[in-house]
Structure 1
């Protein structure tokens, strides 16, 4: 039976919610796999904020009403688990780390890791992030001729990876950058491939995808094992430090559990920030006056740090917030109901229902966001910026543990880059298409023109 015949044979559970038929899905199957965000946008326009998809057994439903999203992710979060294909695919690389874990022990791991992201820790690691940015920019951007074209997607990956290594592991990963970038890029591709498989293969079968997954996991596991052994070797008093690696070592976790969390942070911690910075620079290149306003604010502030808040840098934070609205790195979240659930006061869902939530679609809901497709940072200025239906880092108890770290890192990196460089659009500019992997990346990179700003 081919894919189209399999789809057309489905007999989904009827929950009284509209959505495409199995025949509809069969017709667009390939395009959905290639570009799921465009498909989700289209079905939301066609069927409304709640869309049911034809799957066998328990229903699969897209929720795009902010109140329904809040119920699933926050107020009724205990009734929903991460036992979904999306997170199972991620766990094939990361293991049951904080991001992918559906197990009860995730909360204990979160408590162990949390001090690495506290305010006092962010103040201490800001200089490490700044050093990572300076080293990467110094090596890649200077000295340069006016008008050189740079792939800022690649550059931001290198900056973000170096920042994760220095800030969370107190380790310069520059000597392993190429290995890690190759491994994380392969991991992102394979996670998506496994997650979108119609009939995923068992992990033990020697398929090409499974073999590549094992090689990728071995590469990242080997690097993490080196980090763990090196830290143990230099910790003579039994205390391993207050960064993430040290906290995990002192927390009594097994080496395998520590490795799972380190791989999670390497992938999630640099993929999301790199993607967000790439889109930010594109939007600033498209809006040079906004870029100049941001540059003036950053250079007018003495040494912006990871703790420089929106009251001190309102425009900078508004630009970041608006970028994360238009290009949220985590483009889809999923949950599975543990028991029967009533969502929105009227939709009764059986146990095992798959809830799909897309921040990308939610952030473009026109009733909440006037002129939703337009880059307008000013919507986040003022005493009460809009937060209804705004979840770039998730919501509820599984809210991203690195949220403040990520935003602070973006502030520091932007300050280091834009102080000495002007970013603009190259001749013949066309916006890159979005590419849905672990995060939403620009397809084919982000080639932008860079010019040094010379002192008068």
Structure 2
């Protein structure tokens, strides 16, 4: 059996580098081994691939040839076994059909004014000429948006408690050192509230109780008048007339709450950094906004080509996740001339594809114009993953980025506190801007 080039670095050393230097980890191996490589003595075989044609074969081949490898481990503890991310086959397709409507069409458009008003509400409290933590503000905006979209609530005791708990829960992974808990299962020991893992599980339990209380209260009151995602999911039925169970609802809501705000907050933080790190980008973007005001149709705003290009370039240069969900082959396969046995794990490397010089010349340069000059295939540009596992909230995230940027830049001028380049750091399973990144706000 012919295999790709193999890496002989010991596993512990590889994991250390993956945790603390994730981009260097991928780039160094790419430079040494090329666009497809694997690990020696790995069982099952683990393959990184950054060849668009090879990735296309993986993402478009018969679904029976692959299954997702997202299930189990830390993510299952975080989100629950019924999360869409872990489901396979017919059950995955059923759940995806039930979850899709709230994120498309008229329902998606209805979130536009909500996003704009929350952006105004959060940024109005910032003090002029004083530094602020960018990520914290972006998280507050995106968390308020997703809580309103999911539960239809923006106030009350349950809302406040849920908001505070989610913030505390995700703060466990705000540094590479804390992320070691994810990658080394022997650190996941529950020794009560005095241990990091024990506190993590306690907060999870409280969040779960709050969500169950919300679900049960609505069932008892038969309160299905809202247009929020929870209401829509409680009313949704599959082809056989079956509704989602309380456990399925709970796990899907946890998934939406976490994935629906944490990743978007990171992307918005990067966008504000790049826009102000590249003065020509800020000037050009502001010129597009200059003829718009608060009465602008937000649905027309999000169609602005240059704004769209800025957001796409933000997601290209530092995608929040470095690979798609792993795919496990179920049959013998040949990809790029190599033969793989069943059980092989494939990791299509988003970050490496996004920095291929043959596709994106001067890939480290932030240049939105590249998205105005040509179209990229879904195997050359795929920040939200691909195939049947592509992020279900992709359109909401893209719309939210554009509206938040407009809401902030149309009213304020921002300045970087430092001219030094901002480097990505690990944040849990994602890569994000440093949590201490600050900017200074000036009123227009």
- Asked if these proteins are the same fold (TM beyond 0.5), I'd say yes
Match of 2:74 among 79, 85, 89: 89
Per the alignment, residue 386 of structure 2 pairs with 395
Matches of 2:19 and 2:117 in 1, distance apart?
40
Q: Is residue 328–residue 392 contact of structure 1 (8 Å, CA) maintained in 2? A: yes
Per the alignment, residue 9 of structure 1 pairs with none
Q: Is residue 20–residue 425 contact of structure 2 (8 Å, CA) maintained in 1? A: no
**Partner of 1:381: helix, strand, or coil?**
helix
Per the alignment, residue 110 of structure 2 pairs with 124
Q: How far off is 1:395 after superposition?
A: 1.0
Q: How far off is 1:181 after superposition?
A: 0.8
Q: Deviations over 1:365-420 (max 9, x none)?
A: 11111111100000011474565511111111111111111100111111111111
Per the alignment, residue 291 of structure 1 pairs with 282
**Partner of 2:355: helix, strand, or coil?**
coil
Q: Deviations over 1:167-191 (max 9, x none)?
A: 2321116623322211233378799
Matches of 1:336 and 1:384 in 2, distance apart?
26
Q: Deviations over 1:340-367 (max 9, x none)?
A: 3324342111111111222112211111
Q: Is residue 271–residue 439 contact of structure 1 (8 Å, CA) maintained in 2? A: no
Per the alignment, residue 132 of structure 2 pairs with 150
Q: Does 1:326 align with 2:308?
A: no
Change (3 A) 1:41 1:278: same
Match of 2:160 among 172, 175, 198: 175
Q: Which moved more, 1:421-430 or 1:357-366?
A: 421-430
Match of 1:340 among 317, 326, 331: 331
Matches of 1:383 and 1:214 in 2, distance apart?
47
Per the alignment, residue 256 of structure 2 pairs with 265
Matches of 1:105 and 1:191 in 2, distance apart?
34
Q: How far off is 1:21 after superposition?
A: 0.9
Per the alignment, residue 5 of structure 1 pairs with none
Corresponding residue pairs, total: 429
Q: Is residue 189–residue 198 contact of structure 2 (8 Å, CA) maintained in 1? A: no
Per the alignment, residue 378 of structure 1 pairs with 369
Per the alignment, residue 46 of structure 2 pairs with 60
Q: Does 1:407 align with 2:395?
A: no
Q: Deviations over 1:181-236 (max 9, x none)?
A: 11233378799545422xx3598976956534422321221231243244446545
User: Structure 2 unaligned runs (5+)?
Assistant: 237-242
Match of 1:228 among 193, 197, 215: 215
Change (3 A) 1:22 1:309: same
TM-score, length of structure 1 as denominator length: 0.85
**Partner of 1:377: helix, strand, or coil?**
coil
Per the alignment, residue 21 of structure 1 pairs with 8
**Partner of 1:132: helix, strand, or coil?**
helix
**Partner of 2:347: helix, strand, or coil?**
strand
TM-score, length of structure 2 as denominator length: 0.88
Q: Which moved more, 1:324-333 or 1:334-343?
A: 334-343
Q: Which has the higher contact order (CA 8 A, sep 6+)?
A: 2
Q: How far off is 1:447 after superposition?
A: 0.8
- RMSD of aligned alpha carbons: 2.8
Q: Does 1:80 align with 2:62?
A: no
Change (3 A) 1:286 1:343: farther
Per the alignment, residue 10 of structure 1 pairs with none
